[in-house]
Structure 1
């Protein structure tokens, strides 16, 4: 932020800021989602617990999806037995995303205090899949993590441990803030990854430190991702100090947050990525979906007034069709 910027001025929103801290051998990203996320959540009028969890998933997906180059898609999807049975967030490189959730309204209503339920309690048991698709079967990759009551932060840690084998720390925050137009949803997140260039440091996790002096903590442990390195221990400790309000504060720039964390080490920031919400649905795509249904299923979709309508689950746009024209178009394409 420039020195003459007014104190308390809104920080840039819907933005991902890549950074690196060479002194600690880490790289990372900070994401701030504002109007784009608020529009998605308000469009669907999700209950507060659902909006909160979907906001976390959106922040995580956008943060990871912006690592793709100029094309490709990154998708996060969950299927589980909790009150929120499914989340889907699509990021389409280089700069847009969409998100939706399936939930059981009755189970949420029956919960004693649904707003106080954790992300893990709302998702329950199942799995989380992260899929990278860069346009061909050869470049398509999917990593799957079991969900068993953990947070999306911890599920992200598990994904990187087992799929990428990169020590990583993730922080996510979602909430509403008061704006000139009333309460609005915001989400923020930060990821750091340990990426040492030194071969000696990269081998550190494979070497036992030997007989340590009495009272000296051995860093190579499950709690430190198995990495016997002071730099990674320091990084984890610093990331652990981040509070939700720092990720959500509309007046706290990502650059200032990084300065708070790493001013003693020095963080280098790179060109930010501006993102927005956008749906990929179209009449042609919906028709392609209908083409995949058996004729009897398409017939069952016809309303009493004789029309056939499909509503996009992501953007709520409604596509109306004449059933006879649909069958004619499908027959012509066969």
Structure 2
């Protein structure tokens, strides 16, 4: 057993905002699980999103955390949607090793109309468009980006499609978002929570990734198209399908306990994980650098009441600059 590997509960159990990597060697499965609590609550409360928007952004953060924490280098994993629905943009930005930030853009009128019409399901609010998953390895490295069409799909379904088409790794993902009511001063308060499980089939023998033969089109359902035929993968899918949404959210269940419940018959190992934090990468220096690239006309257009004000869309922090800082004299100094 390596230093980073542990038996369940040996060094205590993971808590909220802790990503737990795991392995089920008997099934050739590796994956990660996380329960987001205070971190998610802070991100969503900062913008006071309507509940349907908050749920979508919570799902986006789950996907970004589950995939971003797998990066073994200094860089970023960025999830972004661009669609024609009431929620036309979601962005979840994970910077290694542990920093997450996220925001959503939505049309209030379209959202209200969708809710009133009973069309507030996540796939309806997203509408049609794309899901882009970007891996940024830094300034000196080429970005890698995978794009999946969003056409009446949930983020969970789209993420599975991404792995099937772009990575060609059999992957199952479960996402759950909800609220937990906890005691607070003067009464009780609702707190956002989210839980996610990602499992991937990674056999050493590539022939085990063989797809089943297509049926003759006579109505025989057989194995679903584009699905791996291996028995271990089928068993993994069956086990993950037993996970209840409340199990992914319940802090009294926890990541390790749920993993044990799912895979104890095969033997599951967990590894040292990552505690994810609500940290924005914005700074006065970075924003100044952007403004220094503005022309004199653009600086003038950005000035209001003698001040240039910039608000970070992620963390809502406000920055103020004086136009004179970007004058020709200041630039040449």
Task: State the TM-score, normalizing by the size of structure 2.
Answer: 0.89
SS of residue paired to 1:111: helix
- Give the Cα separation in 2 of the matches to 1:116 and 1:56: 18
- Rate the CA distance shift 1:271–1:11 in 2: closer, same or farther, 3 A: closer
Residue 270 of structure 1 pairs with residue 271 of structure 2: yes
Alpha carbon RMSD of aligned pairs, Å?
2.4
Contact kept? 1:120, 1:150, Cα under 8 Å: yes
Work out which of the residue numbers 190, 205, 223 in structure 1 matches 2:197.
Answer: 190
Q: Which moved more, 1:269-278 or 1:135-144?
A: 135-144
- Structure 2 matches for 1:1-334, cutoff 5 A? 2=9, 12-113=15-116, 117-181=120-184, 182-202=189-209, 204-205=210-211, 208=213, 219=223, 221-222=224-225, 225-303=226-304, 305-327=305-327, 331-332=331-332
Task: State the TM-score, normalizing by the size of structure 1.
Answer: 0.88
Deviation of 1:137 (Å): 5.0
- Give the Cα separation in 2 of the matches to 1:20 and 1:139: 30
Contact kept? 1:80, 1:86, Cα under 8 Å: yes
Q: How many residues align?
A: 318
- Give the Cα separation in 2 of the matches to 1:67 and 1:272: 10
- Rate the CA distance shift 1:330–1:193 in 2: closer, same or farther, 3 A: farther
Q: Which moved more, 1:48-57 or 1:136-145?
A: 136-145
User: CA offsets per residue over residues 198-243 of structure 1, 9 Å max, x none?
Assistant: 34424x33x64999xxxx9954x32xx4311111111111111212
Q: Which moved more, 1:133-142 or 1:69-78?
A: 133-142
- Give the Cα separation in 2 of the matches to 1:115 and 1:289: 43
- Give the Cα separation in 2 of the matches to 1:77 and 1:31: 20
User: CA offsets per residue over residues 109-134 of structure 1, 9 Å max, x none?
Assistant: 22244886221111111111111011
Contact kept? 1:75, 1:91, Cα under 8 Å: yes
- Give the Cα separation in 1 of the matches to 2:269 and 2:96: 23
SS of residue paired to 1:84: coil
Deviation of 1:267 (Å): 1.1
- Rate the CA distance shift 1:138–1:281 in 2: closer, same or farther, 3 A: closer
Contact kept? 1:49, 1:115, Cα under 8 Å: no
Q: Which runs of 5+ in 2 are unaligned?
A: 1-7
> 4+ residue runs of structure 1 moved beyond 6 angstroms?
none
- Give the Cα separation in 2 of the matches to 1:134 and 1:287: 24
- Give the Cα separation in 2 of the matches to 1:81 and 1:133: 26
- Rate the CA distance shift 1:14–1:292 in 2: closer, same or farther, 3 A: same
Contact kept? 2:150, 2:158, Cα under 8 Å: yes
